[in-house]
């Protein structure tokens, strides 16, 4: 069920909860573009005794857009939400575009975190060979989002808007999926959940989508080398969305990163391995 809080600066922040309401708190940072409707198997979450909290980031779903926000603004929103829910310490896990936000929390508020996990998560795009393995189209998009995000907004509104036709967007956005990823996203339950999440993400338009891609394409404002908490990382060697080289850089740069690279797995491996990932995450708490 969707709920919301009013932040100190007046913005609304919407969120949903899954799993065991009395369980250990785990904040899940979804991919881009996505919303509070993206979540792994709730039965597994509940059985593990986890309380999964998924918030719409600014400009997505029902959360108000935040003008000029940076990656390092997100930990402040999470801290306010945790306080509103009477949560003192929490675990965090992020998939895909949620990965940079996990890194931001690990850097800015390490004392509040019980465990940290990045799954198929993005890393700095200016790292050596970070974009190797991506299509030329996606490599060019990184450059455009870094330099001229204002140009990308009308283009995305016309041709890459999940709200206008969610099914078409789903097919376009997952066109590069292969092997294990293709099998996962062909499941009716996954298609329904992802399509709904993508559409909800663009409820306010594509401004949040475009700004978020700009944020991850430019320098993040902090160094992964300065993260002082252990970080768990899972990444598939067949990931066609987040390059393996990017994940390897993250694993090598965060001082206490414990990485697991899975042969034959792709971008959506979290949904196939959620039980074991959650077990490790909770046991590390």
Q: Give the residue extent of every domain in the chain.
A: 2-283
- Is the whole model's pTM more than 0.85, yes or no? yes
Dihedral sign for Cα atoms in the order 55, 60, 65, 66: positive
Percent of the chain whose pLDDT exceeds 70: 90
- Distances 263 to 29, 179, 259 between C-alpha atoms, Å: 24, 11, 13
- Average pLDDT of the chain? 92
What's the pLDDT at 164?
84
Q: Say what percent of the chain tops pLDDT 90.
A: 74
Q: Could you read off the pLDDT of 180-220 as tens digits, one per residue?
A: 999 999 999 999 999 999 999 999 999 999 899 888 888 99
Kindly give, in sequence order, each residue whose CB lies less than 8 Å from that of residue 204, ignoring residues fewer than 6 positions away. Answer: 59, 60, 61, 65
Task: Give residue-wise pLDDT tens across range 87-143.
Answer: 999 999 999 999 999 999 999 999 999 999 999 999 998 777 777 766 676 666 666
Q: CA-CA distance, 15 to 250, in Å (whole number)? A: 28
- Classify the C-alpha dihedral 66-67-71-72 as positive or negative: negative
- The tens digit of pLDDT for each residue in 32-47 reads 999 999 999 999 999 9
pLDDT digits (tens, 9 = 90+) for 238-248: 998 898 999 99
Measuring CA to CA, which residue among 279, 228, 253 is closest to residue 127? Answer: 253
Most confident of 151-155, 174-178, 216-220: 216-220
Q: Which residue has the tokens 């990017």?
A: 246
What angle, rounded to 10 degrees, do the helices at 149-159 and 136-147 form?
130
pLDDT in tens, 5-17: 999 999 999 999 9
Q: How far is CA 118 from CA 39, 65, 68, 96, in A?
A: 15, 25, 25, 8
User: CATH 3.40.190.10: does it fit domain 2-283?
Assistant: no
């Amino acid at each position: 069920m969707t709920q919301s809080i009013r932040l100190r600066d007046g913005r609304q922040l919407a969120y949903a909860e899954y799993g065991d309401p009395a369980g250990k708190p785990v904040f899940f940072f979804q991919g881009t573009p996505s919303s509070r409707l993206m979540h792994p198997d709730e039965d597994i979450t509940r059985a593990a005794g986890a309380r999964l909290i998924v918030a719409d980031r600014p400009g997505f779903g029902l959360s108000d857009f935040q003008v000029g926000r940076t990656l390092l603004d997100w930990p402040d929103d999470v801290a306010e939400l945790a306080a509103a829910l009477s949560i003192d310490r929490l675990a965090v896990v992020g998939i895909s575009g949620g990965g940079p936000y996990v890194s931001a929390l690990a850097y800015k508020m390490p004392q509040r975190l019980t465990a940290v996990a990045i799954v198929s998560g993005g890393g700095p795009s200016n790292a050596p060979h970070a974009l190797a393995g991506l299509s030329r189209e996606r490599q060019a998009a990184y450059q455009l989002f870094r330099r001229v995000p204002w140009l990308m907004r009308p283009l995305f509104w016309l041709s890459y808007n999940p709200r206008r036709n969610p099914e078409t967007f789903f097919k376009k956005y997952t066109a590069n999926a292969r092997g294990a990823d293709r099998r996962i996203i062909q499941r009716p339950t996954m298609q329904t959940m992802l399509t709904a999440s993508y559409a909800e993400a663009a409820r306010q338009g594509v401004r949040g989508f475009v700004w978020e891609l700009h944020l991850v394409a430019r320098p993040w404002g902090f160094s992964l080398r300065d993260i002082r908490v252990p970080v768990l990382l899972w990444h598939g060697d067949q990931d066609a969305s987040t390059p393996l080289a990017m994940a390897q850089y993250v694993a090598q740069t965060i001082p206490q990163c414990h990485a697991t690279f899975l042969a034959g797995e792709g971008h959506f491996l979290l949904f196939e391995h959620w039980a074991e990932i959650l077990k490790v995450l909770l046991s590390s708490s």
